[in-house]
Amino acid sequence: MSLTICSLNCNGIRSAGRKGFGEWLQKHQPDVLCLQELRAWPEQLDADLLQPAGYHTHWVNAEKKGYSGVAVYSRRPFDRVVEKSGLDWGDSEGRFLRVEIGDLVVVSVYVPSGSAKSERQTLKYEYMDHLAELTQGILNEGRPAIVCGDINICHKAIDIHNPKGNAKNSGFLPEERAWFDDWLAQGWVDTQRVLNPDVAGLYSWWSNRGRAREKDLGWRIDYLLATPDLGERAREAWIERKAGLSDHAPCFVVFDGGL
């Protein structure tokens, strides 16, 4: 028995749908799928995207149409759902969803990008600090948990192409990387990196500019972070670079034991 969890920033669920999301999901059938950047409201979707066969789904939308939004798809029904993180502006942007499936806590989160302007970088730092408080609280509950999502930070030099050239860019700033160190020090296990410790080019996102994907000029900014007890059960993790659903790639981890 195993438990497969996947995370994907779909850069628009309708766009991903046109690129074969439904067929991809039925092919892989993860037990739990966390989505970010939905950029749609449920009433804008066909049933095969909103409620795929074999899945229970829950969405949190941004107040602004065509922007942000997160979801969790699960093969088992949800026992509890928490739609708000407690940070008002972040919740209005639809960036956080916590679900409980049996004993397992699953969080789908979409940390803001700070690349657009300095004001957004300031908000990003606020969101990061708020998220760290939330995840410490989850750890304190003592339940198996996983935090999945687009964190918009590359942790180490191995996680980004040209680390020297990107050192002053949002997503690889020293302050962001130091925060990530502190975040992991809470006890979270970076499953992708723990199971692939020396693999360079373990990227999950490529810019749409400058033929970045073709040249493999990538960033690893999508993560599946597990509590220590769950992390010990992780046996395999990979990034499906050629899925072709988004500018991000689906990130998978498989754990021994089921839900």
- Domain segments of the chain: what residues? 2-256
CA distance 172 to 187: 22
- Provide the residue type at 235 as one letter: R
State residue 117's pLDDT score.
78
Mean pLDDT by 10 residues, the chain (259 residues): 97 97 97 97 88 96 95 98 97 98 98 87 97 98 98 98 96 98 98 97 94 95 98 98 97 93
> Residues 237, 9: contact at Cβ < 8 Å?
no
Tell me the C-alpha to C-alpha distance, in Å, between residue 93 and each of 60, 123, 212.
9, 12, 28
Separation between Cα atoms, residue 153 and residue 160, nearest integer Å: 10
Predicted pLDDT of residue 243:
96
196: tokens are 């692939």
Return d(Cα 182, Cα 175) in angstroms, integer. 11
Catalytic site residue from 150, 159, 190, 222: 150
Contact call for residues 179 and 173 (beta carbons, < 8 A): no
CATH code, residues 2-256: 3.60.10.10
Structure confidence at residue 47 (pLDDT):
86
Write out the two tokens for 158.
């191995």
- Report the distance separating Cα 178 and Cα 127, nearest Å: 15
Query: Catalytic residue at 256?
Result: no
pLDDT of residue 115: 78
pLDDT of 210: 87
Cα gap 88→171, rounded to integer Å: 23
pTM reported for the whole predicted model: 0.97
**Predicted local distance difference test score (pLDDT) of residue 130:** 98
Nearest of 188, 251, 243, 197 to residue 219 by alpha carbon: 251
Cβ neighbours around 10 below 10 Å, total: 25
CA-based nearest residue to 71, from 136, 133, 144, 150? 150
